[in-house]
Amino acid sequence: MKVLIFIQALLIPFLTFSQIDTSFIAQIKALDTANTLRSDTIAVPNDPLTQKIKLFRNERKGLTVETVLKIKIAEEQQKDTAHSKEFYKKLLEELMTGNTSKLIENSLINLYRRSFTENEIDELISFYKTSAGKKMDKEFILLMLQSFKDAERLFKLAANNIQLTDKK
């Protein structure tokens, strides 16, 4: 759930445009209330689109689902006194190379298949191969986090200013 909230927080700057796409906001809200156990993990077809999605995912070097899982496991391991280091080692192995890894991959590929056309995946692959794409991949999360921090600080400042104005 923390990951979902983190991702939603990253999307906040996109929602600040002058015209907000209400269907996009509805999709984000639906994610928050969705049954998270109903991931689409069915086997993916071995077709050109799936191969291109795999290529695209391999092209990306920035923040990935796998990286987020590794971070989450490390956080849980630091807090957890009930399970051994061996437990977390096996859990990480299962998530990265075991049966669960394949389910995660299927889920992600199915998500991309629903979200992008083959042509759009081709364009994304081409973009992420450019120097600008590589830089975007590397810097995007930091830019988003800084943007969110700045917006949050300005939000608090605006709220304080309104409170001061209302007291006058």
Residue 50: name the closest of 105, 128, 91 by CA: 105
* Mean pLDDT across the chain: 84
Place of tokens 């991959």: 105
Domain range list for the chain: 1-35, 48-129, 132-168
Q: What pTM, to 2 d.p., does this model score?
A: 0.68
Full DSSP string of 108-150: HHHHHHHH--HHHHHHHHHHHHSHHHHHHHHHHHHHHHHHHHH
- Give pLDDT tens digits for 11-31: 444 444 444 567 766 766 666
Length of the chain: 168
- CA dist 7 and 144 (Å) reads 10
Residues 6+ apart with CB under 8 A from 70: 92, 96
- CA dist 118 and 115 (Å) reads 10
- Give pLDDT tens digits for 95-116: 999 999 999 999 999 999 999 9
Could you tell me the two tokens for 132? 């600008």
- CA dist 88 and 79 (Å) reads 12
